[in-house]
A and B are shown apart, each in its own frame.
Chain A
Amino acid sequence: MERQSFSRRFIIPVFIIFIIISVAFVGYSYAWRLGSPFLHHLLASLLGPLYFLLVAFGPLFVYPVAYFRGASPKERVIASLINPFLWMTKECIRLYASFTLLECLYFYLNLLNIWLILGLGIQIGVAELLCRKRLKGLGRDIQVFDVRICALLGTCLLLFVLMYACGEGEGIWSVYLEGYRRLFHSGV
């Protein structure tokens, strides 16, 4: 593919998702203040799922767009991770209302974030395979399946499932909390 400008291959796909997530987040968070139950529930029903879906599955848009605009593998991966990482950071900042900076940094490692990162790994792997398949369909001489991509997909999927299998995630959650106690004791 033609390698387009950095702005087109990297910034714009990330920014599009960022804008939609931001609008959905603000709209969802403040819908209840409009004073109209009908509008509140309508906006919540539309913007709530949009917000959560884009945080979780935004890479399925960003990665292919970056791919077909000539972004390098490194650029594609970083672009896919930016919005979820910004969301994680927002959550850490939210916690600063109650906790210290170090505790907020530890919050990056929470179970939900780990699952999200694994989910992102799966999506990046799937997106890469689909993009290669598309290119091959367009007549390019390209190998669809790559050992590294399959390894990434397989590892992320396995870890994702294993973590859930561990008491629906509560086993890992206990480990995470024990880690907190070892670092911060009771936090008080």
Chain B
Amino acid sequence: MSTKETIDDSNGFNSLLSRRDMLKYLGMATASGVLNLSLLKELQALTLATQPKEIRPNIIFILSDNCRWDHLGFKKHPFIQTPGLDRLACEGVVFENAFNTTSLCSPSRASILTGTYAHTHGVKNNHTAWTGSKTTFLEYLKQAGYDTAFIGKWHMPGKGLPEMPFLDQFVSYTYREGQGSYFDCPMLVNGKPVQAQNYITREVTDYAIAFMQRKRMNPDGSKRPFCIYLSHRSAHPPYKTPADIKGMYANAKVDLPPEVDAWFSKAEGNVFQGIMTSSYENQYRKYCEVITVMDRDIQRLLDKIEALGLRENTLVIYASDNGMLWGEHRMHGIREAYEESLRVPFIVRCPWLIRDPGGRRSQMALNIDVAPTILDLAGIPVPKDMEGISLAPSLGNADVPGRNAFLVEFWKYFPENTPTYVGVRTQTHKYVDFEKGRIPWLFDLTADPRERINLYNTPEANKLLPELKSMLKGLQEGKRY
């Protein structure tokens, strides 16, 4: 890991205390009689355990699509089964307050890659082309000597897939506006067309495993670490599952919000969400099924990491690009600033740093934090233009303070009927201002976690709004809270 002298970021874990300094202070404490030798040995072991066995860890970032934060087995969902992600949660930590900052595929994905808000990287909606004006964390890793792979859904507008020469492997698809398909997906493997042979989550996982298994030695005999960005199509509609999973939840009791009904999938433009056929309940069941299929392949990947002996020095992060509304507030899909759409699952397994596997973290984690966290844990200075923060300190210590607020942004995306909005989400409140068509929202998330009561234009709101508006302005200007 880099020493303190080489780090020039204010939010990296290494800026707190370097390993060298720790050992120096422990030695001084022992010499002065403050610590006895046996305690020193314990503390030294603890210090050494914060580092991976090899200098730079391998990194696997797994991204799902539209997967809700609460649709996981360990979150006590009524029926969904996700043993792979349950295992990851047991062996790592779960960030219980993780969010995306723009609830739409392309902007959120660009935020994950660049560590910046959408107004910075410029991919404002799924019609805005990716220009590559911001450097991705994959490119930084490549510069630092990593082998890098992007495997799966890219889905950012532009002419086909971008040129990314810093990738050693680029496996993706442009079919169906970059959404691909669950079966028979036409893919591009390093620019060459290839037909997928298997169900897409299996196919991309196979590519990831093959990449992991590659021999990677530097000329001096040292091993090169790798980073895999594995981006699943699940759980994007239209939902299709392999025969052995199809119908798995056919008899599950589905408890959708009371405001929806079987015909909801046809109403209010919801057909454009890819749910033209069958009832809303059946669509929901299929959504859960594709999550389970994806989880099966995640489990397979974790098994392979184990089998290859890579577990102890491989960072694994799982997240989703955004959540999903399934009828709450009589709305379907993503885009909205409601919690169901903003919240994302976020699990980190970092064996050399996490002291409490299975633990939970309450710090707010954002999609823009993925890049700084990965770079920080790889021992690479976090670029100053990244707007996210490294979550590494909170991995080792659940009590490290986190941020108090973040910016929420959205730009209208034709033809989905959500107006452009901007807002601030604090630990306790959410304020959202719309460009047109709706009055602003103000929710007290402590008293009203389901966001049923809009406090805007109430006396309570009048007390809170000045501070929230000031915070919003500050966030838009680049301040952190």
Interface residues, chain A, with chain B CB atoms under 8 Å away:
28-29, 31-32, 37, 40-41, 44-45, 48-49, 52, 91, 94-99, 103, 106-107, 110, 112, 167-168, 170, 174, 177, 180-181, 184-188
Contact = CB atoms under 8 A, between A and B. Distances in A.
Interface of B: 124-125, 127-129, 157, 176-177, 238, 258-263, 266-269, 271-272, 330, 411-420, 436-438
A48 B263 contact: yes
A181 B238 CA distance: 23
Given A28-B263, A44-B263, A52-B263, A98 B125 contact: no
B128 A188 contact: yes
A177 B125 CA distance: 13
B195 to A, nearest CB: 15
A48 B415 contact: no
A181 B127 CA distance: 7
Contacts of A112: 271-272
A187 B412 contact: yes
Contact of B128 (A94, A174, A186): A186
Contact of B261 (A45, A91, A99): A45
A31 to B, nearest CB: 8
Contacts of A49: 263
**A-B pairs with lowest CB-CB distance, top 8:** A48-B263, A97-B437, A44-B261, A186-B127, A186-B128, A98-B419, A188-B411, A32-B259
10 contacts: A31-B261, A48-B261, A94-B417, A97-B436, A107-B415, A170-B176, A174-B177, A177-B414, A188-B128, A188-B411
Contacts of A32: 258-261, 330
Contacts of A40: 258, 261
Contacts, number: 96
A187 B126 CA distance: 10
B332 to A, nearest CB: 14
Most chain A CB within a 10 A radius of its CB, from B269, B415, B416: B415
Contacts of B330: 32
Chain A interface helix/strand/loop/mixed: helix
Contacts of B262: 41, 44-45, 48
Most chain B CB within a 10 A radius of its CB, from A28, A37, A52, A187: A187
B295 to A, nearest CB: 26
A181 B260 CA distance: 33
Contacts of B413: 187
A37 B262 CA distance: 13
A92 B221 CA distance: 65
Given A52-B266, A98-B437, A103-B414, A180 B261 contact: no
Contact of A186 (B124, B176, B238, B260): B124
A114 to B, nearest CB: 13
A52 B268 CA distance: 12
A94 B269 contact: yes
Most chain A CB within a 10 A radius of its CB, from B127, B238, B272, B420: B127
Contact of A95 (B128, B176, B177, B415): B415
Contact of A48 (B267, B269, B411, B412): B267
Nearest to A43: B261
A95 B417 contact: yes
B261 A167 contact: no
A45 B230 CA distance: 42
B412 A94 contact: no
Most chain B CB within a 10 A radius of its CB, from A31, A168, A186: A186
